[in-house]
Structures are given as C-alpha cells and as structure tokens.
Amino acid sequence: MSDTAIGFLIIGVGMLFVLGVAFAIAARGASPSRGRPHPPTGVHLPAPSFLPVVMSFGAALIGAGLAFRGEDQLANPFLAIPGLLVLILGVIAWVRAANHEWRDTEHGPHHDGASH
C-alpha cells in the first residue's frame, strides 16, 4: 500500500470518528424534556435576497486567490483579501437581516406579504 493510500485511509477514519462523536453528542442532547427554543408565531421564510450571491462571489474570489498565486505565496492577496472581506460582509449582512426579521415578528404582526 502506498503512502498516499495510507494517508487517505487515516483521513477517512478520522472523518468517520469526528462524525460519530458529533452524532453521539447530538443524539444525547435531543431529549424532549429539554426546553428547545421555538420561533415566535408568524416567523416565515425571509424575503428573496441577493446576499447568497454576494457570499458566493466572495468565496469565488478566495478560490481564485488560492489558485492564481505566485510560487512563494500562500494566496494572491489582490484576489483573496477582497474575497474574504466580501464573504465576511455578506455573512454579517445576512445574519443582521435574519435578526431584523426575528425582532419584527416578536414585536408585532408582520403582514407585508412579501415573503409568505
């Protein structure tokens, strides 16, 4: 067996171990007696958003920065750094939009009809 095959075997066994531990922890914590938070009445799917496209563009820039690099570089900073900033700002904007939706639903009726 080659060194590469042994390396992939070790990585595969490690991945299965981590997934098994995560499953065991999730199954242990899923008891019906535990108070699981429920969203307030009226929470629905958010309105259509361009933010997933923005985050995909940021991830693509990071990937391009990793692919188109110099011999002595980890990544091309002119592609990877703006991509990282776009990705982080997109995630922050998406979380803020979800929190805004949650607060609007908690504090009163939300009858705009845009995303039902």
Q: Which residue has the tokens 């007696």?
A: 33
Q: How far is Cα of residue 61 from the mean position of the Cα atoms in its chain?
A: 17
Every domain of the chain and the residues it spans = 1-36, 45-116
Specify whether the CB–CB gap between 105 and 43 falls below 8 A: yes
Q: Which residue has the tokens 């011999």?
A: 71
- Give pLDDT tens digits along the chain (116 positions): 777 888 888 888 989 998 888 888 777 765 555 566 676 666 666 678 899 999 999 999 999 998 998 888 888 999 999 999 999 999 998 888 878 777 777 676 545 555 44
Q: Which residue has the tokens 């039902």?
A: 116
